[in-house]
A and B are shown apart, each in its own frame.
Chain A
Amino acid sequence: MIYIKRRSMVSYIVVPFCVTLILCGVFGIVWLRSNFTTLEYHISELENRKIEELRETKMLMGERVTLLSLHSAGKARASKLGMVFPDRSKVVYVKEGKLTPYRASFIQERNGDPGRMAYKETW
């Protein structure tokens, strides 16, 4: 008797599918790995750029602090900017809490204690 083995429909699909899967898997692994390496290169470039930017930032910050320092500004403040330290005798303290309006006057008296100011309250 001669037996002829017929292949089923399933084997026509499963075998190529498995082979394709394996090939895709291998390709996928290689592709992912290649992508990772590309990303690492890219990150490395960004890191180098970050170092350069930080370098520049530190320079600029150092310059900024120098320009803002009283030591640098001090020389210019009086001559060019007309800035002086505040005169404490001209500082006024304001009392809160009164509800009715007042008209106040500002009288300066020197009673042997220079700089003391007296006030007069009118309404």
Chain B
Amino acid sequence: MRKRAVILNTAIAFGFVIVVFRLVEIMLLNHERYVKRAETQQKIKEDVRVRRGIIFDRQGRELAVNLEVDSIYCDPMRVNEPEKSARALSAVTGKPMKVLLNKFSSEGRFIWIERKVEPKISSRINEMRIKGLYLIPDAKRFYPHGSLASHVLGFVDIDNRGLEGVEKQYDTTLRGIGRKILFERDASGRTLSRGVEMESKGNNLILTLDEGLQYMVEEELDKAIKEWRASAASAIMMDPSSGAILALVNRPSFNPHTLSDSNISARRNRAITDCYEPGSTFKIIIGTAALEEKTVALTTLFDCSKGYAEVGKRKIRDAHRHGVLTFVEVIQKSSNVGSVMIGMKLGKEKVYSYARRYGFGEKTGIDLPGEVSGWIRPPEKWSGISIGAISIGQEVAVSPLQVLRAYSAIANGGFLVKPHLVSEILSPDGSTVWSFKPERKRVISDHTAKTFKEILKKVTGEGGTAKSAAVEGNYVAGKTGTAQVIDPLTKRYSREKFVSSFVGFVPADNPRMAMIVVIYEPKGQIYGGVVAAPVFKRISTNALSYLDVPRDDAQENILVVAR
């Protein structure tokens, strides 16, 4: 009996010793190895979803947002019946079977089938449960207003990287910061709480653009293109005191959702990337320079009765013959002869210096990619006729934005402002990360600006070239431009192709907006006062209502009502 007890006790003790040894081996000797294995099984890494920041207009209305969609990928090694799977997938996605079969037979463990599919397609694929085919959450950039402000907003590529416009200029700001997080799952694959936000958002942008004003300008420019069968058009509306761009439109345009439907020229932001010879709108240079330098007085007379002025060996002619004009009338009636005389009085050094003062020949610094600086040759490279040509806006290349900025200096009392599109950058939680600080530098005196403004008001009044720009109830100050285009074949000025433009600001005495309208190659009529000025008027009439700007005579005509 005692012997059996001893044997039994020994066996039990031996069993416990083996268990203890095994525990020591697992928990102490091989501890690291088993912990690593457990982590591999239990913990998985997942990418935090990176979402691009939202772009808002100045009133907080969304212009660019993100939609949550799925992208489809396959693991070729896990696809069981490639033909059957390809057939089923082809029926849903519309992709050719051959393409899908190629993907199923590719090397690798991660092959994209289709990126950013519509929700109904992804839900059908989910239901089909094809082995080896998986859905991965993705974000698709969506522009709710379609092609509205497409040149300003730009677009992104398949990986949500900005390629044009504000999307490109502020790409780093808009992009969120990607990272991976580690979290636990159980044996059946269910995950435990991640404990952190699974979305990383980029910063949001508040633009100076106004959706309502943008829409108005686009509508009117579409009508003008149709009416004049023009090849292209641009219009920019800006706050002349701060440089905030309220609307920027180019035609032809494109839809950022269907880029393949538009050609590359439609995506050009002509307002800043294309140069043209400004024509009479460039007379702001000689006009303000002459006043600033006191070379002329308002009543100085210029004899334009000959109808032409001789400069070097060439004659520069007026579109219509005038008699003797005052300085004011030279600008009001846009006399080329008078302008050449003023330019010759000033001299080439002063004309060039004032052109550079107004920012011509350099970029405005607007926060959009692709801006050109235009050009104006330095005086030492001028020919005998250049003083005359440049005085009337030839032999220089400018962008519409540069011209608008120059006229804004008249509107705001003599300051050159920096045009900009983004007023604020907000973090995802709404706090301000950055806000624009207006920059401006004085280019002409306040007195010269006010004097020239009065002259520009006459341009839209009786006897001026832009009566059709006059807005009911408010005074408009502006200037027309009708410029010839160089024929690329003959290298001479074309007789058929012109650029018609009008640039101005309203209300003249307390400007709320400055605007330029440029119509390229209109058919039927060529003059800025006939083609572009009415567009300015129609846009301004609606815009002033929208902005709730009172009429200039509001204080005088007040209705007193009965109680």
Contacts and interface: CB of A to CB of B under 8 A. Distances in A.
Given A44-B193, A94-B559, A65 B61 contact: yes
Interface in B179-213: 190-194, 198, 211-212
Given A74-B219, A89-B472, A44 B198 contact: no
B103 to A, nearest CB: 26
Contacts of B21: none
B557 A69 contact: no
A3 interface: no
B261 interface: no
Given A44-B193, A115-B472, A95 B558 contact: yes
Given A62-B144, A89-B472, A95 B560 contact: yes
Given A40-B193, A58-B68, A88-B544, A65 B144 contact: yes
Interface string A87-121: 11101111100100111101000000011111101
Q: Which of B144, B145, B472 has the most CB of A within 10 A?
A: B144
B463 interface: no
A115 B137 CA distance: 60
A116 B560 contact: no
A85 B546 contact: yes
B66 interface: yes
Contacts of A115: 472-473, 551
Contact of A40 (B147, B192, B562): B192
B557 A93 contact: yes
Given A66-B144, A95-B558, A51 B198 contact: yes
Given A44-B191, A119-B559, A69 B144 contact: yes
Nearest to A37: B192
Interface of B: 61-62, 65-68, 119, 137, 142, 144-148, 190-194, 198, 211-212, 215-216, 219, 472-473, 541-542, 544-546, 550-551, 553-554, 557-563
A87 B542 CA distance: 8
A66 B146 CA distance: 8
A47 B144 CA distance: 28
B559 A104 contact: yes
Contacts of A58: 65-68
Nearest to B147: A71
B559 A88 contact: no
B207 to A, nearest CB: 15
Interface string A68-92: 0111101000000000011111011
B215 A74 contact: yes
A55 interface: yes
Given A62-B67, A65-B144, A71-B215, A104 B192 contact: no
B419 to A, nearest CB: 24
Contacts of A47: 193-194, 198
Contact of B67 (A41, A59, A69, A104): A59
B558 A85 contact: no
Contacts of A72: 145
A88 B472 contact: yes
Contacts of B219: 74
A4 interface: no
A54 interface: yes
A88 B148 contact: no
A85 B542 contact: yes
Given A69-B144, A114-B472, A116-B557, A91 B546 contact: no
Given A66-B145, A69-B148, A115-B472, A44 B190 contact: yes
Contact of B563 (A41, A51, A101): A101
Contact of A106 (B142, B193, B551, B559): B559
A22 interface: no
Contact of A116 (B146, B544, B553, B562): B553
B561 to A, nearest CB: 6
B551 A55 contact: no
A61 B65 contact: yes
Interface in A18-75: 37, 39-41, 43-44, 47, 51, 54-55, 58-59, 61-62, 65-66, 69-72, 74
A94 B561 contact: yes
A88 B146 CA distance: 30
Nearest to A48: B191
B68 A71 contact: no
A105 B374 CA distance: 57
B559 A65 contact: no
B312 to A, nearest CB: 46
Q: Which of A54, A71, A103, A119 has the most CB of B within 10 A?
A: A71
Nearest to B546: A85
Contacts of A95: 558-560
Nearest to A98: B560
Contacts of B194: 44, 47
Contacts of B553: 116
A51 B68 CA distance: 10
B557 A119 contact: yes
A112 B11 CA distance: 124
A102 B68 contact: no
A58 B66 CA distance: 7
A88 B144 contact: no
B253 to A, nearest CB: 12
B548 to A, nearest CB: 9
- Nearest 10 Cβ contacts at the A-B interface: A65-B144, A55-B68, A43-B193, A40-B192, A70-B215, A66-B144, A95-B558, A69-B145, A40-B193, A115-B472
